[in-house]
Structure 1
Amino acid sequence: MNNPRHQRPSITATIICRNEADRIEACLESIAGWVDEIVVLDSGSTDGTLDIVRRYTDKVWQTDWPGFGPQRNRALDKATGDWVLYIDADERVTPELRAEVDRVLCAPNFDRTLLKMPWRTLLFGKPLRYGRFTSPQSRLFLRRGARFRDDLVHEAIMLPECRVGLLRGELEHDSWRSYAHMQEKHLHYACLLARQKYARGKRGGLIYAGARFFTDFAQQYLLRLSILDGRRGLLISLALAQYALHKYVALWALSQSDSGTQKKIRANPSIRMRAVRSDDSAF
């Protein structure tokens, strides 16, 4: 019997990571021997992550951390496969998903350039069945001409031609080690996204931030049916509402800091002159 893996186009898996020794092996084990190449970019692990990674691939680079989008592009630049699967250390490719990818990529007249796969997100040991964390993820794409947006967080893939196919096999996602880790991660992402919005000219207000807490909770819990996930559905809805609150409060805080600086400059001509000289020296 022919092995579909040897008939389909080649696949490179790319992983960006830092201090993931407690879970990256499960990720690597789920793709080892299936993908044709594994590319890993590590941004300063100190917990033995690299020792684990090097058991699975010799294509490992240590780098600084420029943000999610730029780091994904660095990994993409080192990929040589026809297709690229970008996967995180807290994710695992299921056997069903592997078999489906092999079958789809070998199909006659296949013309898709992007394949989405459902997330099977675990929250403290049990899967979520509804809501945002079950949405299909754009993770497998044709490499030629592809780039990620240079965003600090929530980076998106850009393709010369985007023809989307939807898979049924699931990508397992075990994102949160603990409740404290959930809070740390969501706060970190919220502040990154606030900086990103601020750099693009967006400004925030506290009233709007408070309103987003309630609207995001209602959207997740009711409209996206997290209510059907019981206590875990309530928890994830509250966490996402809090994430929205943090994001827009952080954006408001950036606006206030900038406003305070501008007032000081207007009130003190010597500060204004120092600012001008500092700008001029850059040229």
Structure 2
Amino acid sequence: MDERPQRRSLAAMIICCNEADRIEACLQSLADWVDEIVVFDSGSTDATVAIARRYTDKVWITDWPGYGPQRNRALARIHSDWVLYIDADERVTPELRAEIDKALSALQLDITLFRIPWRTYLLGGVLRHGRYATPQNRLFKRQGARFREHQVHEQVVLPERRVATLRQRLEHHSWRDYPHLLRKHRRYAALLAQHKYEQGKRSNMAYAWLRLCTDFVQQYLLRGSVLDGWRGLLIAATLARYAYWKQVDLKQIEDRHRALDAPALLRR
């Protein structure tokens, strides 16, 4: 008789849009392993939805309210004890599957959140150091969990936060090519600038230039991207520009609002 403890139930949660070229590899890494796969698509015009439906009947097509709100919509459809939130450009390796199974089969489990390191690929090679090699909050206990209602860089909030870090890595194929790398960071910068504006924060262009320099030094030297050769240089430069773009976009939002407010002020 097999007396090994049974793994706690596990769901995979994916939000996506126009990921037909990447989502199948993600779903293949989850198939016949997790207890449920929940997919929320925000209006794909390619074959993303058709591919997802080959792996799960839990597929919803919605509008796009932002990353945090969309993840909360998907979370509300999950019934399993634990949730792995994963993007279409990520893959669970057999080694990571085995480590998660072992963790979720422990007789005594007081952890509520597991962090999983990334193995991020950039233009045919791996980023082994810096921001894109760090552990991510990806596997959590569902009961009482929610995501912050942020447009980007949302984080999961738990009623009790007890954290452990797994050793095996989550495969991360974030960028199709160099233009996609730039577009993605540019879009995130614009979303974060809007979020900052709504919080009452305002731009500072002197600070923007300072962040351009300090973020490069931090990523390239202090966080070790220099050890990744030309790819490390490329990602450090991109992240430095990302920090700069957030301030530039915030300044543009301020200027637009001033222009809209000016006629009203003149009429007073």
Give the TM-score category using the shorter length.
over 0.9
**What is the aligned partner in structure 2 of residue 226 from structure 1?**
225
TM-score (norm 2): 0.97
- In the alignment, residue 12 of structure 1 is paired with which amino acid? A
Q: d(CA) in 2 for partners of 1:205 and 1:15?
A: 36
- In the alignment, residue 179 of structure 1 is paired with which amino acid? Y
- In the alignment, residue 76 of structure 2 is paired with which amino acid? D
| SS of match in other structure, 1:121 | strand
Moved more, 254-263 or 11-20: 254-263
Q: d(CA) in 2 for partners of 1:261 and 1:18?
A: 33
User: 1:101-158 deviations in whole A, cap 9, x for unaligned?
Assistant: 1111112322100000100000012110100001101000000000000000000000
Q: Kindly indicate whether residue 119 of structure 2 is the aligned counterpart of residue 120 of structure 1.
A: yes
- In the alignment, residue 82 of structure 1 is paired with which amino acid? D
Q: Kindly indicate whether residue 77 of structure 2 is the aligned counterpart of residue 78 of structure 1.
A: yes
Which has more radius of gyration? Answer: 1
Unaligned runs of 5+ in 2: none
| SS of match in other structure, 1:92 | strand
Q: Kindly indicate whether residue 68 of structure 2 is the aligned counterpart of residue 91 of structure 1.
A: no
**What is the aligned partner in structure 1 of residue 192 from structure 2?**
193
Q: d(CA) in 2 for partners of 1:56 and 1:192?
A: 32
User: 1:250-279 deviations in whole A, cap 9, x for unaligned?
Assistant: 01111222233333322223xxxxxxxxxx
Aligned pairs (5 A) from 1:151-170: 151-170=150-169
Shift of 1:46: 1.1
Aligned pairs (5 A) from 1:1-283: 2=2, 7-269=6-268
Q: d(CA) in 2 for partners of 1:138 and 1:50?
A: 26
Distance 1:2 1:223, change over 3 A: farther
Distance 1:196 1:2, change over 3 A: farther
Q: d(CA) in 2 for partners of 1:194 and 1:130?
A: 27
Q: d(CA) in 2 for partners of 1:14 and 1:156?
A: 14
- In the alignment, residue 115 of structure 1 is paired with which amino acid? F
- In the alignment, residue 7 of structure 1 is paired with which amino acid? Q
- In the alignment, residue 140 of structure 2 is paired with which amino acid? F
Q: How many residues align?
A: 268
Q: d(CA) in 2 for partners of 1:3 and 1:264?
A: 75
Shift of 1:3: 9.8
Unaligned runs of 5+ in 1: 270-283
Q: d(CA) in 1 for partners of 2:27 and 2:169?
A: 16
Distance 1:2 1:173, change over 3 A: farther
Q: d(CA) in 1 for partners of 2:192 and 2:55?
A: 33
Q: d(CA) in 2 for partners of 1:122 and 1:33?
A: 26
- In the alignment, residue 95 of structure 2 is paired with which amino acid? E
Q: d(CA) in 1 for partners of 2:165 and 2:238?
A: 28
Q: d(CA) in 2 for partners of 1:3 and 1:241?
A: 53
Shift of 1:50: 1.0
- In the alignment, residue 75 of structure 1 is paired with which amino acid? A
| SS of match in other structure, 1:14 | strand
Q: d(CA) in 2 for partners of 1:51 and 1:254?
A: 38
| SS of match in other structure, 1:130 | coil
